[in-house]
Structure 1
Amino acid sequence: MSSWLVLPAFLLWGWAAGGVTLSLSCRRCEGGPGGYTCPNSESAEAFVLKTLPDQVLHVECRNNMGDFSLLKNCNFTSFRKFEFERCPLPGVAFGEVFRRIGVPSSDVKYLSFTAGSWNASSGLEEWHLDSLTNLQTLQLVDNNITSFPPALLTNTPKLEFFRFIGNRVGSLPHTMFASTPNLVMADLGNNELTSVPEDLFANLTKLLNYIERLQLPSPKTSLTYLNLGSNNISFSDTGAQFIPYDFPLSNQLELQHIFLDNNRINHIPTPLNNLFVDLKTVDLSGNLISYLEFLSIHFVSDGVKLNLKNNQIKAINLHMKEIPMPTKDMYQLKTNYSVTLNLMNNSLANFDGLDHPFYTRLANLTIPYNKISHINESDLPGNLKVLDVRGNNLTFLSDTTLDYLNVTDVVLSLGDNPWTCNCDMIDFFTFLQVPERKVLDSNNIKCASDGELLLSISEYTICPSFRNPMVIVTIVLITVFLLLFAVLGTMSFYKYKQGIKVWLFTHRMCLWAITEDELDADKKYDAFISYSHKDEEFVNTVLVPGLESGNPKYRICLHYRDWIPGEYIQNQILQSVEDSRRTIVVLSSNFIESVWGQLEFKAAHSQALQDRTNRIIVIVYGQVPPESELDEKLRLYISMKTYVKWGDAKFWEKLRYIMPHPQELIQKKQQKNRNADKLELVKSNSKSV
């Protein structure tokens, strides 16, 4: 027998006097006015009881799977409203449960039931609400119910408020509300509905939005508010059919607010555009819509708020096509309207199409978190009042766009864009400084380079030469002087280059002016190869033969054949780097773990800094290692992609291109230079004579 055959009692005669000791034939309850535990806190199976305002008794079940007959004589006659939480469905009708605890079933006006961890599943039966003839509010929330008994509400003719949410029903019986003519609110959200019966609301002449009923009580003739969000609803595409009478809600012509968010709808159903003449709100957010056209957002009612955020919209075609006109006995088509368009979290890249005359009444364009990279003022409707373009790809606003915004009173939201703070931003910076400007998120407009708040910096920081003639004149004079100095310096260098080079090299100054060939003329090796011993097969069988036997042939320095046994390794590393025109680093996961490899790289990097020439060649062997595992200096070579990768189609061509020229070519070049210098000296002496 279910534990619901008897409900635990907790409201006792002692409560009226403020006591907590219960003089009943059942066990004592523990606690106070804030809550009682019955029979006591040490019981493995117990009820937690709380009194709420307006004669509401809240009952929370704790492990109640046993026999509660010890509490069956308690009395609850002062309560008319009951909430059950984390309790299993009773094995008898709720009316029988109330009768056994002293409450006439006809007195119960409010019943809320949440199973919680007790999965009600398909356990709901038609007789569960028997004898609750005066019930006005019924809530069946988060019970995982998979089917709705067709006659469940037969014995609740006075029901006014019904919430059936957080369950798993896929369809509803069309007679579901046949016996509840007084229903004014029905909430069916967060189910798994795939369809809604066409005549589901046929007899509900009093059904209306609950909020409207509280504010403006009046007799309604049809449904005005419908929330079917968070289900599994989809619609077939009706194509060119103007008024598809097979639409499930085609008989509810006074609908004003329709919520179909978080379903599986891939297009805007045609009836929403041309059937409901009083429509005010359409929420289709969180669906699968990927394309919009003119007719899909054209409504016959004024001021429709259309919410399309969190869809998959990639394209909008707003070029107006021929609009099929309805017959006169249907309704008068309205053309003077304002539109609110919400396209948040889609993939739109521009405003193409909004310049059409149809959108002259577009008042609110909300299009944040898309992929818009520029705003063309010619695409914006003339009567636009609100423009929200947060979180797009905007880097600047053109002068023409700013001119347009300066003569309008559009309320703007521009934050979370990658703004480029340079001289092109001066006009935009000035635009934001106007106190009357209605930019709602000016404190979130930041420079993409450093995240600096744009309004917290000065125009001189954005553009140092901003409107400063003296700065411009100074820059011009310095530029002319530098050009003149460069020309004269170049002429002097070529005339006396040999002596200058010798003096610079002797004093280790301005080594950039000395060619690499001259610095490396006495180097013993063309390249020293730094690698992990775990990669020696690749080095010895592939890399070295390719360099030493190819064309041209290079002289390579290797650990095992060119180092002197017994010498300190650190000294040999420094000597090998100094004796080589290049240091080739075979970068692999093994190299990163090699202590000596790291030391060889640092030595080569130090030599390169000293000579002020690029002496390091990085060969990536295997996958490019993660930058987080690399030495800071080695990470720089990888981040700037100054490396060659083994396996590339032109690996050897790239490697030989960055290797030094063979010594023979250097000697020939040096001899040629010496001959040229001698010839120049002879010519100079001849002129002197």
Structure 2
Amino acid sequence: MRFDISCNHYYVKIPVLPIPIIGNTMLKFNNNNITILPNNTVDGYAEARELHLLNNQLQNLTVDQLPTNLTYLDLRNNRLEKLDEQVLEFLWNRSSSLSIKLSGNPWICDCNAKNLIEFVLKYPKIEDRDGIECSDPDIGHMLSIGYDICDPYANYVKGIIIIGQNILMWLYENGYCLWWISRSEPEESLLTKHDAFLAFCHVDLKYAEEFVEALENGAKKYKVCYYNRDWLPGESIPECILSSIEESKRTIILLTQDFINSSWGRFEFRSAIKANSLHNKKRLIVILYPNVDINNLDSDLKSYLKYNTYLNRDDSQFWRKLMFAMPHNQMLRNVSEDAL
């Protein structure tokens, strides 16, 4: 039996359910304002096998609120900051049959969350593991923490790394020690036509125009290639994509949900990954926008995001990090000319 609550009711709590409920019951309360779940002994609710709670306002979860026969639990996009030991034990005991989703919550990732972090790393049936992020933007994905969250030395080293990155960006922005901090480009890239190829979905043109303005009219005056302006009408789209990647020192991907849903977007992403790996000279810059479900990506694209760094568009230091990731050759040439 399926019991489906329409999202336009805007419930703040799960209403009284019809009884008796028999079989594999699915309770869908997505897109409401639910702040608390009922006790798992309540008739109807107690028999639920699937519990869909996407886009609600849950701030707390206790073990006596979870139906004992659950096989699916979707907690995405709520306000959960932690899960207590009893809840984690409940989930672990059902790890062979219970699938869960946890992304989109402001998880606190400190030493007190060690068991939650270990759970996310090891639990076999988390469907959105790659999208689980910490509330602290300096930490980012929970998967990046590892098992050393309570190791003072490890946290000290991470702090030093963050400080070091900020120092390098400051030196670069102010033109100091460029000979030391700037990355050299392959000789072939010095002959390329563009500093960056901007790959985006056509409905995200407003985002693309923001990047063109910042990169071309900023202090560094980068040369950007993007299809609205630089592709000739009537040319083959696949050939345009491949030549734009080949003729650019960087490929910047604006990874929005519309980009993920676009077949051309996925082709651009896959082509940029191939150029990055085969030639070892094409740096790929992926910019992840908020509220993007990367689980909709093909497996190879999802794997790239799992094992490679990318920039979050809502990062407070986003523009600094992007500029530092762009080619440095122009500034190095200026330093060499000044020395003559």
- Report TM bin, short chain: 0.3 to 0.5
Normalised to the residue count of structure 2, the TM-score between the two structures is 0.44
- Name the structure, 1 or 2, with higher relative contact order (CA <8 Å, separation 6+): 2
Which structure has the highest helix share of the two? 2
Q: TM-score if structure 1 supplies the norm length?
A: 0.23
